Structure 1
């Protein structure tokens, strides 16, 4: 039998053996192309010293390739029906641990301490369930989890937003949040045909490389992201209008907001999508003092 899990025939045989039916609510789309899997793993630049966290291993197609390249792989699987499947498909790899848990509710710091010990090089590599992509990535970034980076397959549209530059239609608060913490690159696009079942959307793989320090210096991160979200609340409105309407007491403090924009050298008639992250940082620091 073909050793690779991710061939159409082997995948079909495994699914039939276990009578597995896909749950739409869990966003289950399994990869059936070994070349795509190899390229994903290549982009993670793993060594024999690397530890890998995977989210949503499915039947183990990507897990298998990670196990061959890394020191240890810890995979989070929410669907109990897949546990016996994974036990069989990954039985020859003694460096894989499956945790039956919702990644979003898991204490990742504790898992890292218990499973990876002194390991210095940690990566997150996954074919993410598309319905929870953004919460998963934001958890990894905002909880300051000690990883070198993230290489994940996700919906192309979300990848475009995470990697977008200022002034483009895809640029928004998600772009700024991701790029604040990481260097974001879209490294490949992936056709629908390499999945079972085929998703309705195109996919892409992004690589997020953790920055040693955030890309800008801000007095208060929460305040920065409050300003950013307010600025994009209604994309067609000017930054002044959005800030006045969205910030607490914004209407009463319109003059203060105008003053802050002037101090930051930002035309109040500009739209949020035209502001670079450096401009948002400056504006956030000024507003923090004035508000």
Structure 2
């Protein structure tokens, strides 16, 4: 499992691997935490798991022994041979040298088993990676990730909280997001400077609220949070007017953080029906 950026002199793992800042490498080294994560994942013998950033296989080792297939996405070539040496004899083991941000996860869904994704995601790519993974949800059963605690709080935030923002809305549109437990810096080598947390993301089946035009929905959510201290009326000027807000039953003087996913879907669907369609007709 690889981790967040740290500062200072180069550091090395117990096996001699130099941690690389560009890959956000901090390796989990607490067996008790590893067991807790595996318990949360609850892998089954017939399941197909995908691990992003296995590092030195702290989590990979217990998982590969329990599942039908474990695909590993690792960008650092220096870790490939140690991973093969350690785990290559397991039938479930499959290693991919790839950038997780560009990888096509659909290619792994070769049987009738949905993918279960796990990983300890580097802080510097966690948000863009999650947005990338949202494109593959038809193939995904669930995701268990170790992230910076602050990011997990954003993923799981409810309307009205300061941490509630665009990431909260977009992920919660697709998934149920749960903060499972917090992991302190002392459980990593080298220790990051902030707390981490485990999040479980479970895709909704079906979606509780359906945007009629997802591009409109995504763009409207982004624009709504463009300036967090401004009201919806100001952020969505040129998109919706007060009559539109009244029709949707939403007060335009509110800030975006006060709205739930259903409210954003309502606004986006109104925009799609009354403005996008008109643009197509003209």
Q: TM-score, normalised by structure 2?
A: 0.89
| 1:216 alignment counterpart | 209
Q: Residues of 1 paired with 2:64 and 2:108: CA distance? A: 18
Unaligned runs of 5+ in 1: 1-10, 245-249
User: Contact 1:260–1:290 at 8 Å: present in 2 too?
Assistant: no
User: Contact 1:257–1:287 at 8 Å: present in 2 too?
Assistant: no
Residue 14 (1) aligns with residue 18 (2) = no
| 2:226 alignment counterpart | 233
Q: Residues of 2 paired with 1:108 and 1:233: CA distance? A: 30
Q: Residues of 1 paired with 2:120 and 2:231: CA distance? A: 37
| 1:247 alignment counterpart | none
Aligned residue pairs: how many? 264
| 2:90 alignment counterpart | 93
Which among 259, 262, 265 is matched to residue 275 of structure 1?
259
Give CA deviations for 1:155-195 in whole Å, capped at 9, x if unaligned: 00000000000010100010011111111000010000000
Residue 169 (1) aligns with residue 162 (2) = yes
| 2:8 alignment counterpart | none
1:76-87 aligned at under 5 Å gives the runs: 76-87=73-84
User: Contact 1:181–1:214 at 8 Å: present in 2 too?
Assistant: yes
Report the 3-state secondary structure (helix = DSSP H, G, I; strand = E; otherwise coil) of the residue aligned with 2:109.
helix
Report the 3-state secondary structure (helix = DSSP H, G, I; strand = E; otherwise coil) of the residue aligned with 1:143.
helix
Q: Residues of 2 paired with 1:33 and 1:142: CA distance? A: 33
User: Contact 1:49–1:121 at 8 Å: present in 2 too?
Assistant: no
Which structure has more helix as a fraction of its residues?
Answer: 1
RMSD over aligned Cα, in angstroms? 1.5
Q: Residues of 2 paired with 1:56 and 1:225: CA distance? A: 28
| 2:272 alignment counterpart | 288
| 1:44 alignment counterpart | 41
User: Contact 2:233–2:253 at 8 Å: present in 1 too?
Assistant: yes
User: Contact 1:59–1:89 at 8 Å: present in 2 too?
Assistant: no
Aligned-pair distance for 1:258? Answer: 1.8
Runs of 4+ with deviation above 4 angstroms: none
Unaligned runs of 5+ in 2: 1-11, 276-282
Q: Residues of 1 paired with 2:114 and 2:210: CA distance? A: 26
Residues 102 and 145 (structure 1 numbering): CA distance in 2 closer, same or farther, change over 3 Å?
farther
Aligned-pair distance for 1:111? Answer: 2.6
| 1:160 alignment counterpart | 153
Q: Residues of 1 paired with 2:115 and 2:259: CA distance? A: 33
